[in-house]
Chains A and B, each alone.
Chain A
Amino acid sequence: APARFPRDPLEQPPSLCILADSREISSGAEVISSLKAVHGVKVQVCSLGSSDYIVSSRMAVERRLLSELLSSGSRSKAAQQRLQRLQGTFERICVIVEKDRVKAGETSRLAQRTQHYDAVLAALLQAGVRLLFSSCQEETAALLKDLALVEQRKNAAIRVPTEVQGHQREMLSFYLSIPNLSYLAALNMCHHFGSVKKMVNSSPSDIAAGAQVSAQKAEEIFRYLRYAFDVEMLPEDLCAKGR
């Protein structure tokens, strides 16, 4: 009987790729370096704007410090708006709650769990957001890698080259200006459609396949491209120069 050969041991699954927002270079330097050094993940830093990390074609991850969630400060309002926008852009959102770093010599301020904090957790769950808890930046990196691995198993891994050059750069900024489109979906479009004209003339199902987005999102993009522009509806301040 023909022997069944095991899979080539040298054949490795494609390496994991995670996109990180450029602001994370300063606020989460150890997350990025430990993703690269400890976990061997390819980290592409780009200006995502919308989210801290993108781990798959459908999942965005926000990194939040515990202290931010404990207090109901002015920053929480901005954070709420950010999450609302994310929900328009991504199918899945995960928030990693990370413990604040305690400086050497500083006595650990045992932060009191607040009612506000519990309400935030409940509200996030209600909004369908996944929650993970981390005690330091290194742990956050491990969690990001685990999330990317799970998404890879579900066939949603980031597979396109993350760098763009020349004409592709212009195409990318064109796609990025489409409302509620994630950076990765725009990147997928760049690599999948040879030209903008081809993309604009695609059917919703072609858009869904090319950009790797849901059918609903593809329909939204399709309608946007055919939206009948009415100058009268343009806010005054925008068209002042044009007139």
Chain B
Amino acid sequence: PVTAASMVVPYGHVIGNEKWRGSEMAQKLQGKTRLIFEDGLGIVDFHISNRICILYISEADLVAGDEFKRRLVRFRNASSVGGIVIVEKTQISDQYFLAVQKLVVLELGMVLLPVANQGEASQLITQLVSFCISGQIFIKIQDTRRIPVREQSKDHNSNPFLRKQSSQLAEPSVFRTVQQIPGVGKTKALLLLQRFGSIHQLCNASVEELELVVGQTVARQIHSF
């Protein structure tokens, strides 16, 4: 059965599919995360948070044929949660990688991460779990929709790639923009902004008004810009 609904994952835990019990991956994960096994996860291999699960595609799956594709499509159609696909990219399975990437990322809109073996996978999952704890990972569900919930935890700012809300003043930018008008340098830009206040008002000033600040030629240039 396709079980791909959201699931309650306790803080800092990973819920693994029963079939992974005793595997190399499970052993390595157990050292770093709190791994719980559960029956009935269906096509999902691991749940790392309430809304994100992992589907693992082994080298053997890739070589065996298209069964894994059906599994991914079934997941995508049935799920209300984000899916991260981890794929074993080895010398043998390398030839299939590009096609799988195209299907997973470009057609299904899911996340794909290559690893060389189960050991690397366990290291990667550990990192993913720690980022899940520090804030919600954005995973696309529908084409344009991302999971909007993003808890503003204190660790959130530790992600170097997240845009900080900058409270920078616009003055330097406005000053620079006005200097892009032909004939206007630093001096004139400053005079113009002091007189007209904003780019909008400057652009709507009449030639006569502009002439009071700059010469006739430049006033015309600004007016016709």
Q: Do A196 and B175 have beta carbons less than 8 Å apart?
A: no
- A1 lies within 8 A of chain B by Cβ: no
B199-A231 in contact (CB<8A): no
Most central of A150, A229, A241 by chain B CB within 10 Å: A229
Q: Is the interface of A mostly helix, strand, loop or mixed?
A: helix
| Cross-interface CB contact of A197 among B114, B146, B204, cutoff 8 Å | B204
Q: Decide yes or no: A196 and B203 within 8 Å by CB, A126-B131, A177-B177, A234-B171 being known contacts.
A: yes
Task: Indicate if the CB atoms of B138 and A228 lie closer than 8 Å.
Answer: no
Within 160-180 of B, Cβ neighbours of A (below 8 Å) are at: 160-164, 166, 169-177, 179-180
Do A229 and B159 touch across chains, with their CB atoms under 8 A apart?
Answer: no
Say yes or no for B120: interface residue by CB 8 A criterion: yes
- Is A179 within 8 A of B170, CB to CB? yes
Candidates A229, A233, A238; contact of B197 at CB < 8 Å: A229
Checking B161, B175, B190 against A124 with a beta-carbon cut-off of 8 angstroms, the contacting residue is B161
Interface residues on B, range: 35 or more
Nearest CB on A from B137, distance (A): 5
Type the 1/0 row for A220-241, where 1 means its CB is closer than 8 Å to any CB of B: 0000111111110111001101
Contact flag A128-B204 (CB < 8 Å), given A84-B161, A147-B106? no
Q: Is the CB of B197 within 8 A of A126?
A: no
Residues of B participating in the A interface, judged by any CB pair closer than 8 Å: 84, 89, 94, 97-98, 101-102, 105-106, 111-116, 120, 123-124, 126-128, 130-131, 134-139, 143, 146, 159-164, 166, 169-177, 179-182, 186-187, 189-191, 193-194, 197-200, 203-204, 225
Q: Which residues of A are interface residues toward B (Cβ below 8 A)?
A: 80, 83-84, 87-88, 113, 115, 118-119, 121-133, 135, 139, 142, 146-147, 150, 154, 170-171, 173-174, 176-179, 195-197, 200-201, 224-231, 233-235, 238-239, 241-243
